[in-house]
Structures are given as structure tokens and as C-alpha cells.
Amino acid sequence: MKELLTPTFLMAQKQLEDVAKLINLEEDILERLKFPRKSLLVSMPVRMDNGHVKTFMGYRVQHDLAMGPSKGGIRYSPEVDLGEVAALAMWMTWKCALMNLPFGGAKGGICCNPEEMSEGELERLTRRYTTEILPMIGPERDIPAPDMYTNEKTMAWIMDTYSNYYGYAIPGVVTGKPIGLGGSLGRIEATGRGVAFSTMYILEKMGMPSSGLDVVVQGFGNVGSVAAKRLFEQGHNIIAISDVHGGIYNKNGINIDKLINYYKETGTIKDFEASDNIINEELLELGCDILIPCAIGNVITRDNAPKLNCKIISEGANGPVTPEADDILKDKGIIIIPSILANSGGVTVSYFEWVQDIQRLFWSEDEVINKLNILLTKTLDEVYGLSQDRHVDLRTAAMMIGVGRVAEAKRLRGLYP
């Protein structure tokens, strides 16, 4: 139990407990939602390229199964632990319920440093991890997807390992796969597209300009780069952006199309033309209209929250704002679009991919984007409407809806045995 009770997990629990009071959640149901349904800890000996064997620790957590099979990404990071994975699984439960997807929340991870590993080492690690968690996953049980430092190739290895065990191709075991293996068009850009879409929606509701605003993006991975590109295309000024190596700043705006090409050529955004190099701490505190943290969790804390100088925070990462920082930012009048809403485009299009795999019938990219926009608009309308009716912030409104739907499923199904 002690391994579970990390600061990140306690943060997720506190958010649940706070919203439980607002929706008058029964104590018995709250008790069932405070902890994950299943947690698996595995050790994985892997032969490295130098011939030596190294053991890695891996995790897979299923938070809740009341609304369907569980769904959630797999991340590779030196910071991965059971508490972080359990917190992310809990947030995924609320996210799926908020979007009305027939899933519960799950998450997985391996404690490793992928930047120091070869492709062969990563493949052997992935296949061993898949073998260890194989009893937990499956198209009707638990469907993994990419997350931090995992990608289409990782999902292909998982699908192949799982399919070889059963003796035939089972594409529905994971989402975020290559198109040639049953992946969905529009999946790669879905999370970043959803962040940009949610941000534009809130700008309209707040009566702010639909273009020409100053935007700061922390993180230039799949989510941050796509969100930046979409907002750049809408006419906003991306004045600063960062990756794992540091950030760049140009008060007149950065050409994101050129930056993407530069990143592909160099592997970094540092020293990009007509921009100054800055560190991530400076980036978060820059004066701007919109701040989009798309890197890791817990980057906005009680220490730096008072220094933030933005009007809107759109959470591209999971849990980038701590509860203590939340209170400070609300007092400053900063609007926060919570991660369970802002970055829900990824799991939504993952759901579309799962449906297409089961049906063996695939959609065009326009169909995928249109369906995503419809679901996002419906959910944004619900969250914004409830926030206005109950005079609560967007995070609280989103949590009230998500937790409320899971709680209702618990009531309807009862407690077994």
C-alpha cells in the first residue's frame, strides 16, 4: 500500500474526495473509487546489447471496470512508479466517463530511460513486458495505447507478441498502431488536436479573440507540437515552446511549420532561428494569454503558481497543476481547462480505432475528425454549462460529470458478491 500512496496518487484521491462532496456521493461508492481495482507489478530481466542482463520494473493498473473494459496508455520513464500509474489510471476513468466512452481507466508503465536504450533493447523490453501483463490485457479486458516515450512501433510490438500467443492477428488489443496493422487515421494528431479545439472553444465562450493571442507551449512531443501547429494555423502567436532539452522564445512569434522541420533535422528546438534559448522554468512564467503544459505532471506547483502570468491554462499533459497550485490560480482568475477534458481527443480516437478493429471496417480521416469534433463539442457544452449553473471551475465541473457517471454505473451494477 505504501508504494501506492505517492504525492501524485494522493493528488488524484484528493480531487476525487473534493468532488464527492459536491455531488453528495455515497461513502460506500467513494470508498470503492478511491483505490484501483487491480494492480500488477512485474520484474523483467532483459539482455542488453552488451550481453549483460538488466532487470526493469513494470506496472499495469486497472482503476475501474464498471463501464466496460479498461483503457489507458503505457509510458516509459525513469520516474514511473506504482503511485503515478495508479493516479493516471484514475484520471483515465473520469476522462472516459466524461466523454461517454464505454471504458474504465487503466495505465501502464516501465521504469527505464528509453533515451539511453537501443531499439533492439526497447523491443525486447516491450515484448517481455507484454508477456508479463498478457493475462490482464485484451480487446474485451484492457486496451493499452501509446504514452510518454512510446509510439506506434511500441504498439506494433505489443500487438505482435499478444497475437503470437493466441495464434492469429488481434489488432484490437492495442490502439495507436500503425495504419497497416489496423491503426486509425487521425490518431497520431488526436490529442493535440483536442487540446487546440478545447482551447478555441473556451476562447469563444470567454469572448476572447479567435486569433492573434500569445501562446506558450511546454513540450514539443506529439501533443505539444500538434497543439502548437493547430493554434498557429488559427493565427495565434506561439511566442515560446520547449522540449526536453530546453525552450526557445520570440516575442514576435515562432513559425511552427519551420520549427517542426528544424526539429526533424536536428532532434531539438534549441538554437532555432530568430529565437532566444530559455529554460523551462522561465517559459512557464512568461507573460501570455494561453499557457499549454504538454510535458509531464506536477510542473505547476504552489511555488511557481503565483508567478504565472497567463489568462488560460489548457492542460495537454496529465495532471500538470497540483491542487495547491489550483487554488492559487483560481484566486488569480486564471481559467484552467483540465486534462481530462483538454487532452481527451487521444482516448476518443483510440475508441474509434478499437471500434474499427472490431468491425474490420475503417473510416476516412475526415470521418474520424468529424466524429471527434462532435463528441468534443457535446462534452465541452456539458462541462461549460455545468460550470455556469453551479458556479464552479471547469475542472470541478468535468470531475462532477465524470465521477457522477461512474458512480451511477456502480449503483446500477451493485456490489458483488
Residues acting as catalytic residues:
107
CA pair distance 220, 310, nearest whole angstrom? 20
Query: What cell does 95 get?
Result: 476522462
Could you give the CA distance from residue 383 to residue 133 in angstroms, rounded to a whole number? 35
Amino acid 161 reads T
Terminal CA-CA length for the chain: 24
Give the SS3 label for residue 45. strand
DSSP one-letter code for 135: T
The DSSP result for 230-284, as a single string, is HHHHTT-EEEEEEETTEEEE-TT---HHHHHHHHHHHS--TT-TT-EEE-HHHHH
- Would you call 287 exposed, middle or buried from its count of C-beta atoms within 10 A (0-12, 13-18, 19+)? exposed
Residues paired with 343 in a beta bridge: none
Count of other CB atoms within 10 angstroms of residue 119 = 9
The owner of cell 473534493 is 18
